[in-house]
Structure 1
Amino acid sequence: MAGIITRFKDIMSSNINALLDKAEDPSKMIDQYLRNLESDLGKVKAETASVMAEEKRAKRQLDELNEQINKMQKYAEKALIAGNESDAKLFLEKKNQLLQNQQSLQQSYDIAADNAAKMRSMHDKLVKDISELNARRDQLKAKLAVAKTQEKLNKIGASVDGAKGNLSAFDKMEDKINKKLDEANAMAELNSPKKEDNIEDLMSKYDDNTTTNTEVDDELQALKNKLGL
């Protein structure tokens, strides 16, 4: 009996959080933990019923003995009233024999009653714990689901951060290309003629043409005059 009580005290004091910390899949561990408790509850019920039956048996034996003691007392009184002292003495001797067993049966009953009270207490507590854990199971699973979702979001966030790093590298490449393009444009501008030089060439062109055209025109007019045109 002592071993049974010690083992189920350990069950009562077990820490579900400690079990969950060791579990690879806390959701499955919750279900397994409750299945274990249901199995333990069946054992506790069987043991409690056995101890309660022992309590009732000890109580019945004690009650029967007390009833016999009271009966011997009454018969001794009746014998004395009837004037049969020897008969009364026999009844009292039997009563004393029964009294010697009374203390032993009382002790047996007290032990059985104490054991039954402990088992009933453990049984009731286990039933209560299972009921509370069943009510909390959905809450725990919901929290686990949220935790898993958060883990996924964290992984996605890490991927996004990685993508941001790639975009940053792309921006740097674009800056380098733009810089090279600006440098090429600048070099082209340096290699092109200056506007001042172009204007001077253009002015020189018209100056020469103007002179040439005037001489030709004068010669043409002189020819016309000669010909009478």
Structure 2
Amino acid sequence: MAKQSIFGRITQLAKANINALLDSAEDPQKMMDQMVRDYNDNIAEAEQAIAQTIGNLRMIEDDYKEDEQAAADWGNKALAASNKADEFRTAGNAADAAKFDNLAKVAIQRQMQSESEMKTAEPTIASQREIVEKLKTGLNQMKEKRTELTSKRDELIARSKAAHAQNQVNEAVKAVNIMDPSSEIGRFEEKVRREEARVRGAAELASSSLDAQFESLEDLGEQTEVEARLAALKAKQTGQIEG
């Protein structure tokens, strides 16, 4: 009954629909971690049970081989005793012939007993072998499911970490949105813009001063030319008078 119970548990776990279990789980990662632990515990228990079942099977097989060897030995003894009885009978020794005939009968009875024990053990051996094979198959299925479950757990953890990292990136990007005037970059950009405006204002002021200076130079040049022409005019007049 215990063997059958363990086999039933192995079969149930091996056929478990992992995806369906994960869909209904509030925390799939924790559930899968627990499932992996459960699988490991049940696999260890199943391996012990299978080892015990195999050990029992080997004991029955050893007994069967002993009965088989005993049957062969008693058969040889029966043949030897019968041959010896024939020798005494041929020699006219009826008493010894009868004695060895009786020994041959005892050997045959022992042979038949061993063969009977073998026949009785055969169904048990066959049944135990079938159970062992089923247990081995169920155990292999459990190990395959454990591998699948472990792979899914690792995949889920990786995806969860990736999603968490992506969320952190999104939050960081949101925090430094250059279009958001409340962000650090927004404030820094405004400061730079004010500095640029100040520089442009200073440049414009400097340019205005230079234009004024050049205009003064132009006015001075014009006045100089006027005075030069006036001097030339006076010189011309003086020359005419003297002439």
Confirm or deny a common fold (TM above 0.5).
yes
Residue 103, structure 1, aligned to residue 119, structure 2: yes
How far the C-alpha of 1:40 sits from its partner, in A, is: 0.9
Residue 121, structure 1, aligned to residue 123, structure 2: no
Note if contact 1:65-1:102 (Cα within 8 Å) is conserved in structure 2.
Answer: yes
Provide the rounded CA distance (Å) in 2 between the counterparts of 1:151 and 1:18: 27
Give the aligned partner of residue 44 of structure 2: 42
Three-state SS of the structure 1 residue aligned to 2:26 is coil
Give the aligned partner of residue 33 of structure 1: 35
Q: Which amino acid aligns with 1:95?
A: Q
Three-state SS of the structure 2 residue aligned to 1:82 is helix
Note if contact 2:57-2:128 (Cα within 8 Å) is conserved in structure 1.
Answer: yes
Give the aligned partner of residue 8 of structure 2: 6
Give the aligned partner of residue 110 of structure 2: 94
How far the C-alpha of 1:121 sits from its partner, in A, is: 1.8
Residue 141, structure 1, aligned to residue 157, structure 2: yes
Three-state SS of the structure 1 residue aligned to 2:133 is helix
Give the aligned partner of residue 24 of structure 1: 26
| Count of residues in correspondence between the two structures | 161
Identity percentage over the alignment? 22
Provide the rounded CA distance (Å) in 2 between the counterparts of 1:86 and 1:36: 64
How far the C-alpha of 1:41 sits from its partner, in A, is: 0.9
Structure 1 segments of 4+ aligned residues over 6 angstroms from their partners? 149-156
Q: Which amino acid aligns with 1:114?
A: E
Give the aligned partner of residue 80 of structure 2: 78
Give RMSD over aligned pairs: 3.0
Provide the rounded CA distance (Å) in 2 between the counterparts of 1:8 and 1:50: 16
How far the C-alpha of 1:143 sits from its partner, in A, is: 2.8
Note if contact 1:58-1:112 (Cα within 8 Å) is conserved in structure 2.
Answer: no
C-alpha deviations, 1:86-141, integer Å up to 9, x for none? 22121111211222222211111111111111112222222233234334432222
Note if contact 1:8-1:122 (Cα within 8 Å) is conserved in structure 2.
Answer: yes
